[in-house]
Amino acid sequence: MYNQKVLDAFAHPQNVGEIENPDGEGTVGNATCGDIMRITLRIVDDRIVDAKFQTFGCAAAIATSSTATQMVIGMTVDEALQLTNARVVEELEGLPPQKIHCSVLAEEAIKKAIEDYRAKKENKTVDKSHIDYV
């Protein structure tokens, strides 16, 4: 069902955990299955220097979280906003069609974390208790 690259990313996920006092954080849920992903970012001068994730979800969600965090480290926030779930799936050399919806979590959590970062920069408050289901 899963290719070897996905299985490796699931078995040895990178960037698991949480950044203390993150510059941006985003939590999203998957409307299809109810699984949840949280991403925290360290951002310096609009560039992502660290990214960590906590995913309560399936193997595809964990593999895509790991890969997406690896991909955004080093990107500017504008570049990271362009990262799509399709690009993450391509990096993993594909997911089974019924698991594509799982890859949307990482894209949306990164976008939400960047939104939070921008809101903090503008001294706006963001409701962290709210989870968007995508």
Residues that bind ligand FES (CB under 6 A): 30, 33, 35, 57-58, 60-61, 102, 105
- What is the smallest separation between the CB atom of 118 and ligand FES, expressed in angstroms? 26
CB 60 within 8 A of CB 24: no
> Is 102 marked active-site?
yes
- What is the smallest separation between the CB atom of 133 and ligand FES, expressed in angstroms? 11
Among residues 11 and 49, whose Cβ is nearest to ligand FES? 11
> Is 33 marked active-site?
yes
- Size (the chain), residues: 134
- What is the smallest separation between the CB atom of 30 and ligand FES, expressed in angstroms? 5
Among residues 60 and 92, whose Cβ is nearest to ligand FES? 60
Report how far residue 11's alpha carbon sits from residue 87's, in angstroms, rounded to the nearest whole number. 21
- Catalytic residue (one of 7, 33, 49, 86): 33
Give φ, ψ of 127 to 5 degrees.
-75, 105
Report how far residue 118's alpha carbon sits from residue 24's, in angstroms, rounded to the nearest whole number. 8
Among residues 24 and 57, whose Cβ is nearest to ligand FES? 57
Q: Which two three-digit tokens encode residue 9? A: 């990313």
Residues 18/21/23/25 CA torsion (nearest 10 deg): 50
The residues assigned a catalytic role are: 33, 102
